[in-house]
Structure 1
Amino acid sequence: MTTDPTVPTLHWTDGALELSARWRAESGVAPPRRVVLADDRMTADAAYRQASEGVALLWQGDFQNARQLLQAMARRIDRKRRKPPASPLDAFNAHRQAQAQRARTLGMLLIPLDADYSIPLRRAPEVKQACSEVYGEPGAPAGESSVVSLRELLGLIGAHEWRKKGVEIGALGDRIHPHYGVFSPVRGEYVDLVARAPLPSRSLAFDIGTGTGVLAAVLAKRGVERVVATDADPRALACARENVARLGFTERVQVCEADLFPPGRAPLVVCNPPWLPARPSSPIERAVYDPDSGMLRGFLNGLAAHLEPGGEGWLILSDFAEHLGLRSREALHTMIDMAGLKVVGRDDIRPVHPKAADPSDPLYRARSLETTSLWRLGAK
C-alpha cells in the first residue's frame, strides 16, 4: 500500500478487505473508480460488457489467459460496423474517437505488479527490465505493489524488444534504438530526404526536436563537423545520447535540453515537427500531434534569428494534414511568409509504409495522396 498522497492509487475490495496499490499509467489516465476481481472463469462477453461500462477487471488468474481475453475483447470492438464518414476530416475525427474508446475499454483489464516489477500470476513473463526502462529502477518502499493495464504492459514489453532490436536506417548503415515514448523512425522516407538534400555547409547544424537522434546522426554521417541536437523530453534526450554514443558520434554531436533552439546561429537548422495539428490524448501522442501547429509555428518564427547569413532551415513535413482537412497548403505558406522566410527549394518523396496501400484503413483516402517534403527555407 502506498501512503504518498501525490501518487495515483487504485482502490478495490477483496471480500471484507479494503486494498490499494500504486496506479501506473503512462497515458496519464486516472485510476478507475470501479474495480472488480477477475480470473480464468470470466468470459470474453462478460469482460467486454463490464469494461465498456467503465468497470476495471483486476486479474487474478493465468497471465496468458489474460492476454487471450484482451485479444477477444479487441475482436468484439473491431467488428463493430461504423457508418462510412462523409469526408477525410470526418474520417479522422471518427477514427480518433473510435481509437480513444478502444483504448479506454481495453485499458480496463489490469495486471498486478510486485515492488520489484515481477508479476504474481501463473505463466507470467519476466518484465522487470522492460518496466525499469519506463518506470525507473525498483526503489519503492518494501511491500509496495502497483497495478497497470495489461494493454500498457504489453506496450512496454514491445518497446523493450524494439529497443533491443533497433530500427535499420539505410542512410546510416546501422540501427537506431528507440526508447519507450520516443517516436521511432520506422517511416524512413523523411530520413532519406535529409540524407540526400544538398548541404549548405558542413561546419555546424542544429537538429531541433531530435527524438531518437536519427537526423543528427545522419548529418554527422554526412560529414557535418558539429551537430547540436535539442529536445525538451527527458526520455528523448536519454535515447538520443545513447544512440549517438553507440554510433560513435559523441565527439561531433552534442545533445542538449532546450525548448526548440539552442543559443547562437548555424548555417543549417533541421526540424521534423509532429505532422498533425491536433490535440494529443496522451503524452505518448505528442510526437504525432502538434496542437494548433505550436511546434511548427515556433520553429518557423524563430528560424531566421538562428540562421547564419545565407543559411538554410530544413523543415520536414508531410502533407497528410492537408489531405485530412486539418491545415491548408495556403496556411503553411502564410506561416512561412509571416516568419520572414522564403522557400529556397523543396524535395518530395512518397511514403511506402503499409497503411498507404491498404484500402481497409479508415484514413486510406488521405494516406493514398500523402507526400512528405523537405522544405529548404531561407531568411528574406
Structure 2
Amino acid sequence: MTYTQTTPDHDAGTPGDVGDVVRLLEPDGSRLADAELDPWIADLSPHELRALHRDMVLTRRLDAEGVALQRQGQLALWAPCRGQEAVQIGTAHALAPGDFVFPSYREHGVLLARGARPEGFMLAWRGEEHSGYDHTTINAAPPQIIIGAQTLHATGWAMGAQRDGSDDVAVAYFGDGATSQGDVNEAMVFASTFRAPVVFVCSNNQWAISEPVTVQTKYPLAGRAPGFGIPSLRIDGNDVLACVAAMRWALDRARRGDGPAFLEAVTYRMGPHTTSDDPTRYRTDDEVERWARRDPIARFEAYLCAEGVLDDSALAEVAAAADALAAEVRAACIGATTRAPETVFDHVYAESHAPLAQQRAEYVEYLAGFAAEEAR
C-alpha cells in the first residue's frame, strides 16, 4: 500500500489497525505473495535469513538483560523494545555500511546490528558515558532522548551527504508519539523541499507512553507523509521480511536522488515505555495477549523452519549465542568503573576552552563543599 496522494486516505483504516498493512508473513508464519515487495527480497540467501533471525533473538535477550539489570539497581533506566525486533533488525539489515543511523532511545536492535558492543548499550544507561560507542565506527548517532529531535539531525546529515556527492542515506528512527512533535514535521518539510536522501522509520507501537495512537491521530500515520510530498508505506512491523523489503525500496529511491521516504511499521511495545512506567494502568491484558500472538520472532521462526532454513541445531546455536551475549552484557555493566563526577565535562567539545574549564572548576569546588561538610 503506497500512499501517493496529498491527503490521508480516509478509507485506510484506523491508526492502530493491522488489517490494512502490507505484509509478507502471516502471524502463523505462512508466506504471502506481494508483487510490490517480493522483488526487494528475492535475493535473500538462507545465510541472510538466519542472520535476521539470529539478530532478532539477540536483541530480545539484550533487552531482557537490560530490564533485569535495571531492576537489580545496575542501570539507572532502560527503554524496553520487546515486540519491536522485526522492524529494528529488518530495516537495519537493509542498510549499507556508509548509511548513518539516528536512533531514538529504544533502537537497541538497530545498534546491535550496526556493530555496537554491550558496553555501548550499558554504560550510557548506567550514567557512566554520554554514549558508549564511537559513532564514527558504526555510523550511528547516540540514542536521542529528546522526542523527535533526531529527525532534524538526520535530515541535516542527509543534506550534507547530498552536497558531498555521496549516495549514503540517513535514517531517522522514532515512535508514533514523536509524530506529534514539531521537529518531525519540520524535518519532513526540509527533507521534501531539498529531496534529501533520508528515510523516516516510524515504529507505531500503539502507545506514546500512556497515550494511545488513536488519540494522537484519526488516520494512519503513513498518510501524513504525502502531505509533505513524501511517499510512504504502511507495513506490518512484526514481519521482518516486509521490513527488509520496504526499507530496501526506501533506500533505493533515496540513493537514486528521488528524495525521502516514510515507513510506518505497525507493531507493539510488549513491555513498559521505560522501566519507570507501569503499563497495567492504561492497557488491558487482552490487548497485550492479542499482540503476543503476532510475535515477530515466533512468526519468522515458524517460516524458516517450514522452509528448512532453520533446524534444531541452528536454533541451539542461536540460543547459545544469546546466552553468551547476556553474560557479556552483565559483565560489562557490573564490572563498570564509575568515573569521577567532573569527567562529565570530558569530550563535550573536541578541544577544551576557557568557559568549559571555568565550569569544570566551579563544579569541582561545588563537590568539594560536600566533602568539607562531611568532615565537620
TM-score, L = length of structure 2? 0.34
- Between Structure 1 and Structure 2, the one with more helix by share is 2
- Between Structure 1 and Structure 2, the one with more strand by share is 1
Which of the pair has more CA radius of gyration? 1
Larger relative contact order (Cα-Cα within 8 Å, sequence gap ≥ 6): 2
